[in-house]
Chains A and B, each alone.
Chain A
């Protein structure tokens, strides 16, 4: 019973390039969440998606960041024209249908660590 799978685990980009991070939720989970962890900080909510729908993107920066969760395939967090301040660990979490909203327990992946040179 695989957990939340994220890839790549580590990604290095130069300023101005694009970063694309992938997340496959746990089997049976249909809710996906992205969180960002800056160095020495706690996690901060970015976006909540269900299949083909963005439910809440209140934590997403207004520019350069986008997220999707297509009908088929993993959820993708895309960062265009990366800057040094985007260097962080990006965590994906998932929850079963209906349960995330009720209990709040999220199942996290191992994270993708982005370094912008």
Chain B
């Protein structure tokens, strides 16, 4: 599997439910970011978590990072139909440059009204 691989590939939930997406990676990282992409659009930065952080919150988003397991999760609480999008994790590898992000293939989240 490649660096920054999301799971599941697709997730369908009802409005109001929580959505959890996971990301696994292989090498040591400086930081990990989550981005969102609406169909046919650009990427929007959601949240960045550094390698020495374990959890971060931003509004309805909660990101965790477990460097021992080389994994991260993104939780969206009280989902809305407008949250429907693809979600990507991107890692910046330690020893490398922070701008050279390695993206996974993404999780397609569908929130049904």
B105 interface residue, CB < 8 Å from A?
yes
Total A-B pairs, Cβ < 8 A = 71
- When distances are taken between beta carbons in the complex, the residues of chain A under 8 Å from B101 are 35, 43, 45, 104, 106
Give the residue name and chain of the B residue nearest to A3 (CB): B42
- The answer on a CB contact under 8 Å between B42 and A109 is yes
- The answer on a CB contact under 8 Å between B98 and A111 is no
- The answer on a CB contact under 8 Å between B97 and A101 is yes
Residues of B within 8 A of A (CB): 4, 30-31, 33, 35, 40-45, 48, 88, 90, 92, 97-106
B56 vs chain A, min Cβ distance (A): 13
CB < 8 Å neighbour of A40 from B42, B99, B103, B105:
B105
- CB-defined A-B contacts under 8 Å, sample of 10: A35-B101, A42-B90, A42-B104, A43-B90, A59-B100, A101-B97, A104-B98, A104-B101, A108-B45, A113-B40
- When distances are taken between beta carbons in the complex, the residues of chain A under 8 Å from B40 are 113
Residues of A within 8 A of B (CB): 4, 31, 33, 35, 40-45, 48, 56, 58-59, 91, 95, 100-111, 113
> How long is the Cα–Cα vector from A104 to B30 in the complex, in angstroms?
9
